[in-house]
Amino acid sequence: MDNRWKSLTPEERYIILQKGTEPPFTGQYNDHFHTGIYHCKQCEAALYRSDDKFSSHCGWPSFDAEITGAVYREVDADGRRIEIVCASCRGHLGHVFEGEQMTEKNTRHCVNSLSMRFVPED
């Protein structure tokens, strides 16, 4: 991996590189519902469209779909959850949950705000 991580804050490095989790209800994008695209904080790859964001009341930004090919799923180290990472740089985003019946797509990407950067639509 290149040195993109050097531009990250210590908190962002903890989340993205060490697979940490920010405290619930503290992220800047938890209650953020503007039109645009959410990008990976580490490599700038486009991850999520604002049209796929919904309020799950879980404490983290939630999306029921990713931009095709942008997010990679893998079994978490604990073996119980599915971790989601940026498909481009493998930076940790959060976890994905299915079967909760929160949206018609029946999927919830629970993403750390610190893993993303929002780019508003012009």
Label residue 52 left, alpha or beta by phi (over 0 means left) and psi (-120 to 50 means alpha): alpha
What is the maximum span of the chain, computed from C-alpha positions, in angstroms?
A: 41
Question: Does the active-site annotation cover 40?
Answer: no
Q: Residues 89, 45: contact at Cβ < 8 Å?
A: yes
At 35, which amino acid appears?
T
Classified as helix, coil or strand, 65 is coil
**Local structure of residue 15 (DSSP, 8 states):** H
Locate 45 and state its tokens: 């790859």
Q: Give the residue from 67, 75, 120 showing the smallest Cα distance to 95.
A: 75
| Marked catalytic residue, from 40, 86, 89, 110 | 110
Positions annotated as catalytic residues are 110
